[in-house]
Structure 1
Amino acid sequence: MAEIIELGEPPIPVKLRHSARARRLSLRVSGVDGRVSLTLPRRASMREAQDFLRAKEAWIRGHLDRQPELCQIAPGAVLPVEGRERLIAPTRTRAVKLMEDHLLVPEGADKTAARVRAFLKTLARDRLAEASARHAKALGREFGKITLRDTRSRWGSCTSEGNLMYSWRLILAPAPVLDYVAAHEVAHLAQMNHSPAFWAEVARLMPDYQPHRAWLRQHGGALHRFQF
């Protein structure tokens, strides 16, 4: 069972978890929300955990200082949609509208976040369905259903039944990044692994995928800083 302890001043909450598989103490600072967790071997003591954390305190605080600030979705906030920053602006409209530099939302700040989230999910589904169908046709394969989730550990997945899952937050990334993830997951319809043969399929579907994969690794975590 996980336990929470506090480190230093101001206190940093740290989640402790004992694991039978762990052979050493393992520290992690989430790039998504800044949560700190420490995994310990089953026989490790609380004193060992505290000593280890004190020795790593400066490192932990350095990582937390570099965390992107959270952004609450509300009128006046700036939100990237398909990689382009848009100012959320309330106006007399019945539905959310995507403009070149603005995201127009119906007046009523209390519902802005929910309305924007629903709009983004619909837009993400449209873009991902189109990209998946295009890549599947090029591959000569068919996929099952598409599911959207707000996942933190992965941007997409493909089941052995051919069903595809994507994070709807991909709609915040530049369009070629979303397209790369679709190509990646569709390629699993042919290769359910990450072998050289799999990456050859990805390259066939999207020859210039490498910079988009690199963008996601470098900037993807920041897409979770937007709070709906």
Structure 2
Amino acid sequence: MFGLGRPTRRTAQPRPSAVTVNGRDLPLAIRENARATRMTLRIEPGGQALKLTIPKGLAVREIDEFLTRHHGWLMTRLARVEDAGPLADQGKISIRGVDHRIALTGKLRGIAEQTELDGVPTLLVSGLPEHIGRRVSDHLKRVAKTELQRLVHMHAATLGEPVRAIAYKDTKSRWGSCTSEGNLSFSWRIAMAPDFVIDYLAAHEVAHLKEMNHGPDFWATCKALCPRTTEAKRWLKQNGSRLFAVAF
């Protein structure tokens, strides 16, 4: 008499942790949401990673099929994000929406300086080639601080609202924030955007001093402070990831 023996237990197939797009392996974070009824794929700011939200208990096979169907979409969207890599001598950096050529001065010390050489906007940078990223980012921080402080105080005076403090960070998921105590925070990478976009960001966070929400009254206040709000929002949606992708 022969026994049937124990059934073989199948090994659970692991979920994908990365997706190869345009020759790049992008980390993939998968989050289950019990309220989700469909899968939602998001490209993280800067195009350096992906986030997939799925219904709870979804089979790995369905995840793989979804990623396969959306591979072309990913290729198209990620192609818009310029992965500039490390900044280099004779490379380019956008400052207040204007492309500047990066040129080493040959000097070991000194802060970066904006000028024009042979009719070309240029950012003169001191130090060795390996110092370029830090020198350029330091310059962008100074530009962001100068412009945003001026705009924030101007818009706050218009509303008659006090500003307690302004901070500058290298955030990867949002351009700014505002607390109910009047503390504002900005990503200094906005210094690479055109002036009207910088103005919009300042107006957006100052408007939160009056309206701590994104309701109709908030947007009315924001547009009163910055008439080009709609245009600036569109610019950030189309170009924001490119600014986050710059490697310093």
Instruction: Tell whether the structures are fold-level matches, with TM greater than 0.5.
Output: yes
What SS is found at the alignment partner of 1:176? helix
CA-CA distance at 1:128 after TM superposition: 0.8
- State the distance in 2 between where 1:53 and 1:174 align: 35
Report the CA distance shift for 1:163/1:48 in structure 2 as closer, same or farther (over 3 A): same
Give CA deviations for 1:98-118 in whole Å, capped at 9, x if unaligned. Answer: 124111011311111112112
2:155 to 135, 158, 163: 135
**2:218 alignment counterpart:** 198
1:179 maps onto 2:193 in alignment: no
CA-CA distance at 1:196 after TM superposition: 1.9
* Conserved? CA contact 1:73–1:113, under 8 Å: yes
Give CA deviations for 1:59-93 in whole Å, capped at 9, x if unaligned. Answer: 33333334323242121110010111111101036
What SS is found at the alignment partner of 2:101? strand
CA-CA distance at 1:5 after TM superposition: 4.5
What SS is found at the alignment partner of 1:39? strand
Of 188-197 and 131-140, deviating more is 188-197
CA-CA distance at 1:48 after TM superposition: 1.8
TM-score after normalising by structure 2? 0.82
- State the distance in 1 between where 2:197 and 2:29 align: 33
C-alpha RMSD of the superposition: 2.3
**2:182 alignment counterpart:** 162
- State the distance in 1 between where 2:198 and 2:22 align: 41
Report the CA distance shift for 1:84/1:198 in structure 2 as closer, same or farther (over 3 A): same
Bigger CA radius of gyration:
2
1:214 maps onto 2:234 in alignment: yes
* Conserved? CA contact 2:104–2:124, under 8 Å: yes
CA-CA distance at 1:30 after TM superposition: 3.5
1:94 to 103, 110, 115: 110
Percent identity reads 36
Task: Within 5 Å, give how 1:79-118 maps onto structure 2.
Answer: 79-91=93-105, 92=107, 94-100=110-116, 101-118=121-138
Report the CA distance shift for 1:76/1:38 in structure 2 as closer, same or farther (over 3 A): same
How many matched pairs? 227
CA-CA distance at 1:3 after TM superposition: 5.7
1:47 to 21, 45, 61: 61
1:73 maps onto 2:79 in alignment: no
What SS is found at the alignment partner of 1:123? helix
Of 35-44 and 126-135, deviating more is 35-44
* Conserved? CA contact 1:148–1:165, under 8 Å: yes
- State the distance in 1 between where 2:22 and 2:159 align: 55
What SS is found at the alignment partner of 1:110? helix
**2:247 alignment counterpart:** 227
Give CA deviations for 1:6-38 in whole Å, capped at 9, x if unaligned. Answer: 569968544333333433222223352252332
1:120 to 140, 151, 156: 140
- State the distance in 1 between where 2:29 and 2:208 align: 35
Report the CA distance shift for 1:72/1:44 in structure 2 as closer, same or farther (over 3 A): same
**2:12 alignment counterpart:** none
Q: Which runs of 5+ in 1 are unaligned?
A: none
- One-letter amino acid of the structure 1 residue matched with residue 163 of structure 2: F
- State the distance in 2 between where 1:66 and 1:9 align: 12
